[in-house]
Amino acid sequence: MRKTREKDRRRLLETTGVVPWEASAKTWQFIYVGPQAVKLLGYPVAAWYQKDFWVKHLHPDDRKYAVDFCLTFSCAGKDFEFEYRMIASDQNVVWLHDLVSVELVKGVPEKLRGYMIDITERKRAQEELDQYRRHLEATLEGRTSEVAEANRQLSSQLTERKRAEEVIRQQIERLTALREMTLTITSTLDLTTVLENLLEKIEHLLPYHASSVRLFDRNGEILEPIICRNLDVESWKARQGSGFVREIIEKRLPVTSIDVRSDPRSRGPTFFRKHGLVSFIGIPLIVKDQPIGVLSLYTRERHEFSGEEIEFLTMVAAQAAIAIHNSKLYEEIHRSREELRELTQRMNVALEEERSRLARQVHDELGQPLVGLKMELAVAGEQSDGNRKAGVENRRFFDIIDSMLEAVRTIGTDLRSPILDDLGLGAAVEYATREFHNRTGLQCQFTGTLDGTFLDPDRSTAVFRILQEALSNVARHAQADSVVVELQKNDKNILLTVNDNGKGLEPQQLDDHNSLGIIGMRERAVLCRGELNIRGVPGQGTTISLRVPLP
C-alpha cells in the first residue's frame, strides 16, 4: 500500500512544460496564465492577457480547426481536450496538448480553465520516426544488413517513444488530479468549505501529515490563523507564525526546511517536536501580484522537496488563492448588502417617525386653527343681524376653510394614515383603494379582510407603503382603467395582490436599476421578511403579489 502511494505521488509530481490558464468563455481572453507560459512560448505573461492573443498566435494551418473545435465544445458546456500548434516569440512552432474544463453559471458557459502541455518533442520524435520508417521502406530491398541495423534503431526509438508516452500519461493523470482539486475548491463560495476541501484534497493526494492556512485580515496587515489539519487547533492558533512566514511573504516564493526542529527560522521548535513534524514547505497565496496568505505543509519524516513537487504545489496554491479570493469577495458583498439593508430599515423607521411627526404638526398647527377660524366666522355670522351681503361673504369663507381643511386632511393622511395606526392594516388598505378611485377616477375594487388580524407596526407600514407605490405606478404608467386589490390571509401569511388591466410590464423593465419604485418595493418586502413577485403580460396588465409571514 505504501509503495503504491509513493508511486502515485511520483506520478503527480513529475511534470514538463505545463501551463495552467483561465479565460472568459465569451471572449476567450485569458484572465490568468501560469508563469510557465513565458518559458513555453517566450512571450511575457502580460502579452497573454491581450485581446485575441490565443487566436492570433495559433499556427495558420491549425487556426480554423482549433477555433471551431473549442467553440463547439465550450458552447455545449462539455469538458474537452485537443492538440494544436502555436507560434513562439522566436517564430518556432510549438505543439500543445490542451485539457479544458468549462464552468457553467446558470447553465451558461462562464469560464474556461485548462492546462497546456508541451508535446513538441513527442511530435518531433514521431515525425522523425515516420520519416525514418519511410526511408527504410524505400531502401529495404537488397539491404538486408542495413535493414537489421535499422530495425535495431527503430526498436530503440520505439522504446524511447513508449517512455515518452508514459511520461505524458503520468503527466495527464497528475493534471487530472489537479483539475479534480480545482473543481472541488471552486464548487462553493463559502470560505470555510473552500479551505476544508483544499486541505482534505492535499492530504488525500500528497504525502503530507499536517497542513494549515493563514490569511491576511481585511486591512491586509495581520496574518490570521484560519484553518489547520492534523494539528492541535488551540496551540497552533497561539503561535504568532514563524520566520518562515515572513520570508515567504517578503520573497513571494515557496520556502522549505528539511528539519524545522533545528532550523533557526522556526522560532520555537517545541511546537513541531510536540506534533512530530520534521520537514516544512510554505507557499504564498497570491492574487493579482498581492499575497493574501500562506499555505503550510508538514511531513513526519525528513523530506527534500523536489523542483517538480514545488512547482506542483505552486500551481495548487495559485488555484486555491483564486478560490479564496472569490470567497472573500462574496463574503464582503454579502456583508455590505446586510449593512445596506439594516441602514435602509433604520432610514425607513426614521422616515415613518418623521412622517408621523409632520402629520401631527399639520393637524395641530394648521387643522386646529382652521377649525377655530371657522367657529369664529360662525359666531360672526350670527351677529350680522341678517345682513345678506355678510352672509354671502361668510359662506364663501366657509367654503375656502372647508377646502383648506380637506387639503390638510389629505396631506396628513398621505404623510401617515391614522387609520393604519388606529384600525389596522385591513381598514387602511380599503381606505387607500377608495381614495385612489376618488383621486384618479379609475375603477378600483377591493376584496378581502384580515378578520381583526394585526401585524406589528413596522411590517404593517411596509405592506401599506408597497400598496401605495403599486397604486401610484398604476396611475402613472399602466394606462389601465381598472385595478383589483385583494388582501387575504392563510395559516402562515398575509397575501396582498394588486392586479391592473393596463399595458403590462416588459420583462426588461423588471430588472431596470433606474426603476426606483420597483427597487423600493422589493427592499421593503425583504425588510419585513416577505416575498414580492411582479409579473407583467404585455397588453394584458401587471400583477404584483406580496407574501408577508404572520407573527
Residue 125, all three cell numbers: 520524435
Instruction: Write down the pLDDT at residue 355.
Output: 59
Asked if 438 and 327 sit in the same domain, the reply is no
How many folded domains does the chain comprise?
3
pLDDT of residue 368: 63
What are the strands of the beta sheet with 210-216, ordered from one edge?
Answer: 223-229, 210-216, 290-298, 280-287, 255-257
User: Which DSSP helix (H) or strand (E) runs through 47?
Assistant: helix 45-48
Q: What pLDDT sits at residue 415?
A: 55
What is the domain-level CATH number for residue 108?
3.30.450.20
384 falls within a domain: no
Query: For residue 93, which amino acid is it?
Result: V
Burial profile 251-287: b = 16 or more Cβ within 10 angstroms, e = fewer: eeebbbbeebbebeebbebebbeebebbbbbbbbbbb
| Residues 20 and 156 placed together within one structural domain of the fold | yes
- DSSP letters, 7-42, are HHHHHHH--SSEEEEEEETTT--EEEE-THHHHHHS
Which pLDDT does position 32 carry in this prediction?
92
**CATH no. for residue 455?**
3.30.565.10
**By the 8 A CB rule, do 146 and 215 touch?**
no
Q: Which of 318, 333, 348 is the last residue of a domain?
A: 333
Dihedral of CA atoms 528, 529, 534, 535 in degrees, nearest 10, equals -150
The verdict on residue 363 lying in a domain is no
Orientation of helix 191-205 relative to helix 144-185, angle to 10°: 150
Question: For residue 248, what are the domain limits?
Answer: 191-333
Q: 212 with 297, same domain?
A: yes
Q: Output the pLDDT for position 347.
A: 65
Query: Do 88 and 201 share a domain, yes or no?
Result: no
Question: Is 327 found in the same domain as 226?
Answer: yes
List the alpha helices (DSSP H) in 416-489: 418-422, 425-440, 457-473
The three cell numbers locating residue 28:
476567450
Looking up cell 472541488 gives: 184
* pLDDT of the residue at 337: 67
Examine the fold and report which residue of 333, 364, 394 is the final residue of a domain before the chain moves on.
333
CB 428 within 8 A of CB 464: yes
The CATH number of the domain holding residue 271 is: 3.30.450.40
How much is the pLDDT for 83? 93
**208 plus 324 within the same structural domain:** yes
pLDDT tens, the chain, 551 aa long: 544 554 443 344 345 558 899 999 888 899 999 888 898 899 999 999 999 999 999 999 999 999 999 999 999 889 999 999 999 999 999 999 999 999 988 889 999 999 998 888 888 888 888 888 888 777 766 566 666 677 788 788 888 888 887 767 766 766 776 677 677 777 777 888 888 888 888 777 777 889 889 888 878 778 888 888 888 888 888 876 667 888 888 888 999 988 988 888 877 678 888 888 999 998 999 988 889 899 989 999 998 888 888 888 888 888 888 888 888 787 777 676 666 666 665 665 666 556 555 655 555 556 566 666 666 666 666 655 555 565 566 666 666 766 676 665 666 556 556 666 667 777 888 888 888 888 888 888 888 876 555 667 778 888 888 888 888 888 888 888 889 999 888 888 888 899 999 888 877 776 666 677 787 888 888 877 888 888 888 888 899 999 988 87
DSSP, res 92: -
Both 85 and 210 in one domain: the answer is no
Q: Where is the domain boundary, 140, 161, 182?
A: 161
Residue 1 included in any domain: no
Q: Give the tens place of pLDDT for each residue, 210-233.
A: 988 988 887 877 888 888 888 888
Kindly state whether residues 546 and 435 are assigned to the same domain: yes
